[in-house]
Amino acid sequence: MIIVGLTGGIGSGKSTVAKLFERLSIPVYIADDEAKLLMNNSITIKEKLLALFGEAAYLDDKLNRSFIADTIFNNKTYLDRMNAIVHPEVKSHFKNWVKLQDAPYVIKEAAIIFEHNQQDQYDVIISVVANKDNRLKRVIERDQSTPEKVLAIMKNQTNDVDKANLSDYVIVNNDKNTLEHQVLKIHKSILKRIENEAI
């Protein structure tokens, strides 16, 4: 099974691209969504997060996302310690998920592949890039966030030029009309690669 990593900075449009691959019957694992589910449902993660953040980490047995976000915002120590708790569980969950899939390849959508030097976990990496103004506008509209908060997150992410240089494919998401064409072209290229490797 070919494992494809789909990444991109905040507001680049990873989720939109992921949906287009799903339309082509390619299974997509959204790492952030699965991490949130595990943070709510995994007893192991809950115990460790309570030890790290204290009782305020959960409200009515549900993850207190606003408290966690405020705590890790601009606090790399807390962020790194939280990631050290959550990432191994997500990695294990993903491996089990892959075993259940029946497709030529699967996609794992993850925002921080390069930031955590996880590129070796993938056979192919696709990066979604977009200009800063577009990204800012999308995130502010989507999350009702402030430009300062979005820019702070962008600052902690690998820049688009470096992402592009480290990727097998790059999707430019400044004009929605071209997205489907780009996705289909990459899909065909990956299938061709799988076909060639099978010979």
CATH of the domain at 16: 3.40.50.300
**Is 111 in the same domain as 181?**
yes
181 exposure class (CB count in 10 Å sphere: 0-12, 13-18, 19+): exposed
pLDDT at 199: 65
pLDDT of residue 96: 97
End-to-end CA, the chain: 15
Which residues constitute the domain of residue 133? 1-27+106-199
Residues 116 and 83 reside in one and the same domain: no
The model's pLDDT over 126-138, given as tens digits with 9 standing for 90+, comes to 999 999 888 999 8
Indicate if the pLDDT at residue 121 is higher than 70.
yes
Q: Using alpha carbons only, give the angle 185, 109, 88 rounded to the nearest 5 degrees.
A: 145
Residue 140 reports pLDDT greater than 80: yes
User: CB 163: neighbour CB atoms within 10 A?
Assistant: 22
Q: Are residues 44 and 87 in the same domain?
A: yes
Average pLDDT, the chain: 93
Map residue 171 onto helix, strand or coil: strand
Residue 175 in this model has a pLDDT that exceeds 80? no
Asked whether residue 53 falls in the same domain as residue 133, the answer is no
Please report, rounded to a whole number, the percentage of residues in the chain having pLDDT higher than 90: 73
Looking at the structure, tell me whether residues 126 and 189 fall in a common domain.
yes
Domains in the chain, number: 2
Cα 101 to Cα 22: distance, rounded to the nearest angstrom: 13
Residue 50 has pLDDT above 90, yes or no: yes
| Residues 69 and 166 placed together within one structural domain of the fold | no
72 and 110 inside one domain: no
Is the same domain home to 110 and 193? Answer: yes
Round to whole Å and give the CA distance between 81 and 49: 9
77 conformational bin, left if phi > 0, alpha if psi -120 to 50, beta if neither: alpha
Q: What is the pLDDT of residues 87-108, one digit of tens each?
A: 999 999 999 999 999 999 999 9
Q: Are residues 144 and 120 in the same domain?
A: yes
Tokens standing for residue 170: 């790059």
User: Considering 63, 78, 100, which residue would you say is the last residue of a domain?
Assistant: 100
Q: How far apart are CA 101 and CA 85, in angstroms?
A: 26
pLDDT, residue 154, reads 85
95 and 31 in contact (C-beta within 8 Å)?
no
Query: Of 100, 118, 136, at which residue does a domain stop?
Result: 100
From 100, 121, 139, give the residue that closes a domain.
Answer: 100
